[in-house]
C-alpha cells in the first residue's frame, strides 16, 4: 500500500492552472469551495439556469456554462452524477479538451467502463474522498480532512500524479492520507461496497431483522430500536476501534451471541450472492443494467424508491425519530 500525506505533495503542482469543477451537488459544492479556499483558481461549470446555478453564485463562486468552463480550464474535474457524465462530456467538454489538459473525477465509473474515452494526449486522474460532501467540507473547515484515494489512468504530462495529489491536498485529504489505487480497483470495489454491504446489504439486513421481530409479535417500536437505531452506535465503535474493539465494548452475552449466531445469518449462500454481485460489476452486467434503467428515465428505480418509503420500518422509524427529537418535523 502506498499512502501520501501533505509532505509528499509538490506545492507548485497546481500553480497557474484553472480548475473547472463540473457540477455543484454534494461533492461538487464541497470540493470546489475547499479548492477555492486553498487558493486555487476555480470556476464552476453548470447548465445555465439549473437549480445549482444561483446556489453557486450565492456561495461566491465564478459560474459559467459547461462549454465556457471547459474551454477556459486546464483541469476539468467532473463531479456530475454517473448517469449523465458521458453525455455532458461528449456535448460540452470533449470539443474543448486540449493537449496537456487534465481530466479529473472522484469516481472512475465512466472512464473504467469506457463511457468516456479521453484522448491519449491528456492526463486522466482521480482523487476520491472516502466520505460524503458534507464531511469533505466540515472536516476542511475544522483544519483537517477525510481520507481518500488517488489514481492515474493516463500520464500525458509526466506530473499527473502530483496534479492529483495537489488537488487532494487542496481539499484537505492528504492531511488524513490518501491511498494510491487504480480506476479499475476504485470503481469495482466502490460499486461492490455500495451494493453488497453499505447500502443494499445493510438495509436488507436491518429490514429483515425488523420484520422477523414484528412477525413474532414484538412491538414494532422495540424492533426498530433493536435492529435499526442501535446500528449507528455499533458502527461508530467499529469505525474507531475495529471489530475487536467493538467486541470488547459490548457485553459478553452480545459477544458470544454475535460470534456464534452471525454466521447463521451471513451464510455461505449469502457470500455466493456477494460473489455474483461482484461478478456482475466486473463483467459489465451492472453497467449495462444501469444504462438500460436510465434509458427508461429510471422508471424502475422510481418505483422501488416509492415502495421503500412505504415500508413498515420507515413508517415506524419516522414516528420514533420525531418523538425522540432525532428528526425535524419537516424531514
**Regarding the domain delimited by 3-181, which CATH topology (the fold level of the hierarchy) does it fall under?**
Rossmann fold (3.40.50)
Q: Please write the tens of the pLDDT for every residue from 130-155.
A: 999 999 999 999 999 999 999 999 99
- Residue 180: pLDDT band (50, 70, 90) is very high
Q: Whole-angstrom Cα distance, residue 92 to residue 310? A: 39
pLDDT at 330 over 80: no
pLDDT at 113 exceeding the cut of 70: yes
Catalytic residue among 77, 107, 112, 229, which?
Answer: 107
Q: What is the pLDDT of residues 270-312, one digit of tens each?
A: 999 999 999 999 999 999 999 999 999 999 999 999 999 999 9
List helix spans (H) across the chain: 26-37, 51-58, 66-72, 82-88, 109-112, 133-141, 160-170, 173-176, 183-192, 200-215, 220-224, 230-249, 252-265, 268-282, 285-295, 299-308, 312-323
Q: Is 107 a catalytic residue?
A: yes
Which of 36, 75, 243 has its CA nearest to residue 160? 75
What residues does each domain of the chain span? 3-181, 191-323
Residue 324 banded pLDDT, cuts 50, 70, 90 = confident
For the stretch 280-284, contacts whose Cβ atoms lie closer than 8 Å and that sit 24 or more positions apart, written own/partner, are: 281/188, 281/191, 281/192, 281/195, 282/188, 284/113
CB 103 within 8 A of CB 151: no
> pLDDT band at residue 49, thresholds of 50, 70 and 90?
confident
Distance CA(197)–CA(247), nearest Å, equals: 20
Question: Measured at the alpha carbon of residue 84, what is the angle toward residues 81 and 90, in degrees to the nearest 5?
Answer: 130
User: In 3D, which of 147, 151, 136, 145 has the Cα closest to residue 186?
Assistant: 151
Residue 81: count other Cβ atoms within 10 Å of its Cβ: 11
Nearest to 124 by CA among 34, 186, 188, 37: 186
Confidence of residue 3 (pLDDT cuts 50, 70, 90): very high
What are 275-279's contacts with CB under 8 Å, separation 24+? 277/192, 277/195, 277/196, 278/188, 278/192, 278/196
Amino acid at each position: 500500500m502506498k499512502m501520501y500525506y501533505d509532505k509528499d505533495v509538490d506545492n507548485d503542482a497546481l500553480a497557474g492552472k484553472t480548475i473547472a469543477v463540473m457540477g455543484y451537488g454534494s461533492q461538487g459544492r464541497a470540493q470546489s469551495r475547499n479548492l477555492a479556499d486553498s487558493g486555487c483558481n476555480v470556476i464552476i461549470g453548470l447548465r445555465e439556469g439549473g437549480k445549482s446555478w444561483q446556489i453557486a453564485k450565492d456561495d461566491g463562486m465564478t459560474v459559467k456554462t459547461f462549454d465556457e468552463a471547459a474551454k477556459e480550464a486546464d483541469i476539468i474535474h467532473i463531479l456530475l452524477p454517473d448517469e449523465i457524465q458521458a453525455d455532458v462530456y461528449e456535448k460540452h467538454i470533449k470539443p474543448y479538451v486540449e493537449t496537456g489538459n487534465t481530466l479529473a473525477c472522484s469516481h472512475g465509473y465512466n472512464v473504467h467502463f469506457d463511457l468516456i474515452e479521453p484522448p491519449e494526449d491528456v492526463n486522466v486522474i482521480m482523487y476520491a474522498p472516502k466520505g460524503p460532501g458534507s464531511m469533505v467540507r466540515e472536516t476542511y473547515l475544522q483544519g483537517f480532512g477525510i481520507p481518500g484515494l488517488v489514481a492515474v489512468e493516463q500520464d500525458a504530462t509526466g506530473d499527473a500524479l502530483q496534479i492529483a495529489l495537489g488537488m487532494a491536498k487542496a481539499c484537505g485529504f492528504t492531511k488524513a492520507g490518501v491511498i494510491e489505487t487504480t480506476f479499475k480497483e476504485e470503481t469495482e470495489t466502490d460499486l461492490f461496497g455500495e451494493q453488497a454491504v453499505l447500502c443494499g446489504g445493510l438495509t436488507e439486513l436491518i429490514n429483515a431483522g425488523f420484520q422477523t421481530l414484528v412477525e413474532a409479535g414484538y412491538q414494532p417500536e422495540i424492533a426498530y430500536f433493536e435492529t435499526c437505531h442501535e446500528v449507528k452506535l455499533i458502527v461508530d465503535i467499529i469505525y474507531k476501534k475495529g471489530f475487536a474493539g467493538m467486541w470488547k465494548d459490548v457485553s459478553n452475552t452480545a459477544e458470544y451471541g454475535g460470534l456464534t449466531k452471525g454466521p447463521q445469518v451471513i451464510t455461505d449462500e449469502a457470500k455466493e450472492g456477494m460473489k455474483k454481485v461482484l461478478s456482475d460489476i466486473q463483467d459489465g452486467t451492472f453497467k449495462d443494467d444501469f444504462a438500460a434503467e436510465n434509458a427508461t428515465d429510471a422508471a424502475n428505480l422510481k418505483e422501488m424508491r416509492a415502495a421503500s418509503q412505504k415500508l413498515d420500518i420507515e413508517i415506524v422509524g419516522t414516528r420514533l425519530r420525531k418523538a425522540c427529537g432525532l428528526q425535524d418535523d419537516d424531514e
